[in-house]
Amino acid sequence: MAGRDRIVEMLEALVTRGDIAGAATLVWRGGKVVQSAAVGWGDREASLLLGRDSLFRIASLTKPVTSVAAMMLMEEGRFQLDDAISGVAPEFVEMRALRTPGAALDDTGPAERPITFRDLMTHRSGLTYGAFHPGSLAEAYRAALGGDIDSPVAPDDWIAGLAALPLVDQPGAGFHYGHSTDLLGQLIARMEGMSLGEVLQRRIFEPLGMEDTSFGIPTDKRGRRAAMYGFDPDGKSVRLSVAPGGATVADRPADMTYESGGAGLW
């Protein structure tokens, strides 16, 4: 890009004001990289600059990756979009739904129809994120699943725990952002007979040469991790603490087998 890089200038101003800690950009046009930059901090508190090779937790951008893998299986005839997921996860054969979104956990009625793969892929399954419903439902989700991203609960137990929770709506009745794609990822793993990470590596990352994308960061790459930031009430960036001891990002335990198809990728 000739002359001033206006993208960099804009981002530098945002970093200076404290609106963001840092940002990496790349513009691809006509088969060529026409702009790329890394501006600001990868870890502001540790005075570590952001690099072109910094590793970000992509959180919910994991969802489209998991969905691509699911569509590959669908194209291979492993399932159809309107198949009931209970064919792969019999834990979901007899579901119950809250009579109203804010109802008590025991104020439920039977699900009017099975949850389908299409429901999972369009967030119309009746599953949610517990954090969206403070109180007893949030507590039940936390107890059953062990966390929204990394979880110590083994995959089969995670599926069973989710199936034991009431749906917040009838299947297909409305959009509820939540654990639908996490469940989709676990169903993919069951169908393939391997972990979700192995499925994504074989079907997507390896063919595309994505060498740095995975559910965990190897020890030799951990120095490239970017810290995670959110916003305070005034709209300024603040570091998020999501791990014991104030660490922004917890190291994934080597024995953790659950992989979040909805939010876990780096």
Residue 256 in any domain: the answer is: no
pLDDT (0 to 100) of residue 247: 43
How far is the C-alpha of 100 from the C-alpha of 97, rounded, in Å?
A: 8
Q: Judging by DSSP bridges, how do beta strands 229-231 and 48-49 pair with one another?
A: unpaired
pLDDT (0 to 100) of residue 1: 45
Determine contact, residues 214/221, Cβ cutoff 8 Å: no
**Is residue 69 located within the same domain as residue 135?**
yes
Using DSSP, state whether 145 is helix, strand or coil.
Answer: helix
Residue 14 in any domain: the answer is: yes
Residue 221 in any domain: the answer is: yes
Domain boundary among 170, 199, 228: 199
- The CATH number of whichever domain residue 146 belongs to comes to 3.40.710.10
Evaluated on CA atoms 232, 235, 238, 243, the torsion sign reads: positive
**Is residue 98 located within the same domain as residue 19?**
no
Range of the domain at 29: 6-58+214-246
- Picking from 146, 166, 164, the residue whose alpha carbon sits closest to that of residue 154 is 146
**Is residue 48 located within the same domain as residue 78?**
no
pLDDT (0 to 100) of residue 239: 86
**Is residue 68 located within the same domain as residue 167?**
yes
pTM, 2 dp = 0.89
pLDDT (0 to 100) of residue 251: 64
54 has catalytic annotation: no
Residue 113 in any domain: the answer is: yes
Give residue 5's identity as a one-letter amino acid code. D
Domains of the chain: total: 2
Each residue of 33-85: pLDDT tens digit? 999 999 999 999 999 999 999 999 999 999 999 999 999 999 999 999 999 99
Angle 122-156-119 from CA coordinates, rounded to 5°: 10
Instruction: Give the residue ranges of the chain where pLDDT is below 70.
Output: 1-3, 241-251
Q: What are phi and psi of 27, to 5 degrees?
A: -115, 125
Q: What are phi and psi of 41, to 5 degrees?
A: -110, 135
Q: What are phi and psi of 106, to 5 degrees?
A: -100, 5
Residue 255 in any domain: the answer is: no
pLDDT (0 to 100) of residue 250: 59
**Is residue 11 located within the same domain as residue 110?**
no
**Is residue 166 located within the same domain as residue 132?**
yes
Which residue among 36, 54, 60, 180 is the active-site one? 60
Angle 253-263-224 from CA coordinates, rounded to 5°: 60
How far is the C-alpha of 54 from the C-alpha of 221, rounded, in Å?
A: 9
**Is residue 187 located within the same domain as residue 69?**
yes
**Is residue 103 located within the same domain as residue 12?**
no
